[in-house]
């Protein structure tokens, strides 16, 4: 059974700092990996999706990497801002889910960027 | 706005009530999902409807019943719920066969008394 772990569970940094969020998964047989952002009491916003054949994806100040063989992904946030404060969720799309495309989520990292 | 709407946004119900959650997607997608998000737990997939195929998580109790009348609408019918069913219920949609990015609605915050 695929399991997804995110470390740390919570992180507090001063504004302007670069930071890395970590995600690990137990089964490397995945279609893709996706990073989401969730603001308190709200739904999820997709940030980046990395297909299994890709090594990284970039969007603005965000860069996500994928090392499928070791079951790891990182989300790098450059020059953090208070508006980046949210919970960041990692999810994998395991091949074992077949055509249903079921995502398996980690518990998230709660990020606070202090002004 | 992600193009996925959910109603109601908040719901309080007793254990003997029957209610329904509604989700609508305006993105032309062909797959829709229900997720449950409880405090301190990862998101849990409950049901998937994809190109007329339904997949369900076997751990979901029968007091939750999904309905997908067409590719744009998804319902979750609730009856005789328990207090531990209190959670944020999220709906999502995607275009199966494409990049598989799932787009989420804002969720329904459910409280069972």
pLDDT in tens, A69-110: 999 999 999 999 999 999 999 999 888 766 556 789 999 999
Q: Give pLDDT, residue B26.
A: 95
CA–CA separation, B106 and B40 (whole Å): 19
What digits encode the pLDDT tens for the residues A55-74? Answer: 999 999 999 999 999 999 99
Q: What is the DSSP letter of A48?
A: E
Of A42, A89, A93, the CB nearest to B100: A93
Q: Give pLDDT, residue A42.
A: 84
Cβ-contact B22, B105 below 8 angstroms:
no
Q: Give pLDDT, residue A101.
A: 67
Q: Give pLDDT, residue B52.
A: 67
Provide the shortest C-alpha distance from residue A66 to chain B (in Å). 16
Contacts of residue B107 in chain A, CB cutoff 8 Å? Answer: 41-43
Contacts of residue A42 in chain B, CB cutoff 8 Å? Answer: 106-107
In chain B, the percentage of residues whose pLDDT exceeds 90 is 68
Of B2, B45, B55, the CB nearest to A103: B45
Residues 6+ apart with CB under 8 A from A102: A93, A94, B45, B48, B55
Residue B60 CA, chain-centre distance (Å), reads 12
Cβ-contact B43, B58 below 8 angstroms:
no
CA–CA separation, A65 and A58 (whole Å): 9
What digits encode the pLDDT tens for the residues B34-60? Answer: 999 998 788 999 999 887 678 888 889
Which chain A residue has its CA at the smallest distance from B100's CA?
Answer: A101
Please indicate whether, in this complex, the C-beta atoms of B92 and A44 are within 8 angstroms of each other. yes
């Amino acid at each position: 059974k695929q399991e997804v772990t995110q470390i740390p569970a919570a992180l507090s940094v001063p504004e302007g700092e670069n930071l890395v969020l970590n995600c690990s998964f137990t089964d490397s047989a995945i279609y893709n990996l996706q990073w989401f952002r969730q603001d308190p009491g709200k739904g999820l916003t997709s940030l980046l999706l990395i297909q299994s054949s890709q090594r990284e994806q970039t969007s603005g100040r965000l860069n996500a990497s994928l090392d499928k063989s070791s079951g790891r992904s990182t989300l790098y946030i450059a020059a953090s801002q208070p508006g980046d404060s949210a919970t960041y969720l990692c999810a994998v799309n395991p091949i074992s889910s077949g055509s249903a495309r079921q995502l398996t989520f980690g518990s998230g990292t709660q990020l606070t960027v202090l002004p | 706005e992600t193009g996925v709407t959910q109603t109601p946004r908040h719901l309080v119900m007793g254990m003997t009530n029957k209610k329904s959650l509604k989700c609508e997607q305006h993105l032309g997608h062909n797959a829709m999902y229900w997720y449950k998000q409880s405090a301190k737990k990862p998101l849990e997939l409950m049901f998937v409807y994809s190109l007329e195929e339904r997949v369900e998580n076997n751990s979901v109790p029968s007091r939750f019943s999904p309905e997908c009348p067409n590719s744009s609408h998804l319902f979750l019918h609730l009856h005789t719920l328990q207090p531990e069913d209190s959670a944020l219920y999220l709906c999502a949609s995607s275009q199966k066969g494409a990049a598989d990015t799932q787009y989420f609605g804002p969720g329904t915050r459910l409280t069972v008394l």
